Structure 1
């Protein structure tokens, strides 16, 4: 029982950090992504039907925080270059992964 309690206590800072990153990512998504993408179930639908909803991106089996963070920082034809920092990309990835359907 003590080991379980210690494991839970040790995980709290990491969970709090992940929540903070997702909150920063949500703010960023509302600023730069929501024009095209549906960013969450609570948000208005994105205006570009070719832009996948974040829940669909998060549901892909090969998607990780690292692949999302790398992808959003690479300029490509279907998405403008928003000039995101590494931390912004990581925060956005945390928010996108939080949209994974349960």
Structure 2
């Protein structure tokens, strides 16, 4: 991941944690893993793609990654990501899965 992309990602997550996003109960990590395998694995695979998307394990290990930050990020359109519209339940499951990957 490029330094600029890493800084941008970190800045977004830090801004999101400072927001007043409503905390949510974490969903089911197993369901989130299945959702990620179907919709996200082609870009967020097991390892970081050179010049591409970070692996979910990399995202999970960032100190700024929180449930609230991920919730905001997953509801915000991004030019480099497909416009995946997730239900609140699916979003909660995906967040639970990503956070389950923390070292």
Shorter-chain TM-score range: 0.5 to 0.7
Residue 31 of structure 1 aligns to a residue in which SS?
Answer: helix
2:58 corresponds to which of 50, 56, 59: 56
Question: Offset at 1:62?
Answer: 1.1
Structure scoring higher RCO (CA < 8 A, sep ≥ 6) equals 2
**What TM-score, normalized by structure 2, do the two folds share?**
0.66
Which structure carries more helix by proportion? 1
Runs (4+) off by over 3 Å? none
SS at 2:79 equivalent: coil
**Matched residue count:** 78
Name stretches of at least 5 consecutive residues in structure 1 with no aligned partner: 1-16
Q: CA RMSD in A?
A: 2.0
Residue equivalent to 1:29: 36
Q: Where do 1:9-24 residues align within 5 Å?
A: 21-24=28-31
